Structure 1
Amino acid sequence: MPGSREPLTSTIEIAATESPVAQPASASEPARADEGHVLLREVGRERPATIKRVLSDIYRQNRADVKGIHTRKYGVEVEVRGIYVHNDVIYLHVQIANNTNISFEVDYRRFVVADRKAAKRTAQQQRIIEPLRVCNDPSIVRGHQRQRIVFALPKLTLEEDKILLLEITEKDG
């Protein structure tokens, strides 16, 4: 169709770097005894209330501890602002900036561990990683606005030939 385009899928590559991973400011605070005791989903050895508190602290502080991990496509920019680790949980602070006049509706987002470079004739190995928790998961980013999201991911190790991808796909794009 004239004027139509493929749905926007923005993929950002998150690879291991030489720099150390930052710690959230409140990660050293002890958990309160009255915090939730119901484990709704596997979160490793971390209590859900602690994960929620760390997610909120990272979101509230809004620090940009990581530079240079971003992608831009069709006027939408996705940037990793921070990568943190606390008790075997990885926290990713991500910002989506919609620099267009049209709202960006998120169809789905997923984390994938994939081969760094796949030969043209070989099948690519992919493993989907489900976030343990998400802080501020928007379904829409209005035109000329920014939204920040903090993801809590289970502990994972990336081999040298693997990368972690965050794929965000636009609904009806």
Structure 2
Amino acid sequence: MLHNFIMIAADTGMRPKEMFNLNWNHIEGLDHARQSRAKEARIRISAFGKGRNPAPLIPKSTVASQLLNIRRIYKFRFGKEPTAEMPVFCNLKGERITTFNKSLNALLDACDLRTDAHGQKFSSYSFRHYYATQALRDPQIDVYKLGTNMRTSVAMIERYYSDVIPEDHAALFRGDHEW
């Protein structure tokens, strides 16, 4: 379950709270994705977390296979498909999981990856930062599109990730490519 959590977090940019609030009825298009190839999966997630109302997001197509893995695990464990109101991330009793901190910290310690190069501790939130950084490296994704999909403001994107853009687009600014 931790593996699926990490992969979904890294490919959606969801906040940990949004992920732990995620129920199966918050995911549109998963049944269609079940019958299509992974790259063709088109799902939409309604994220509940920071605000009262759900905010839609479009995850990378790889998220469909992770969600389908979780459904298979659920069906294997409980002998039935989860209901629409069931949490996506649940424990062996079928109850909502509210944190992976203990497991994630143990994994990071085992890999000697507890802190980044600046001494900052990694956490579940680090996968949201990974998502934002990777998205900003794509020249087709601007801060406005990214802010909308991450359910945050352009100011927050610029505040936390402005150093990503100049470094990754240095070749453009140097003129290595024609304008």
- The interval holding the TM-score normalised by the smaller chain is under 0.3
Task: Report the structure, 1 or 2, having the larger helix content.
Answer: 2
Q: Looking at both structures, which has the greater relative contact order when contacts are Cα pairs under 8 Å and sequence separation is at least 6? A: 1
Give the TM-score of the pair, scaled to structure 1. 0.23
Task: Report the structure, 1 or 2, having the larger strand content.
Answer: 1
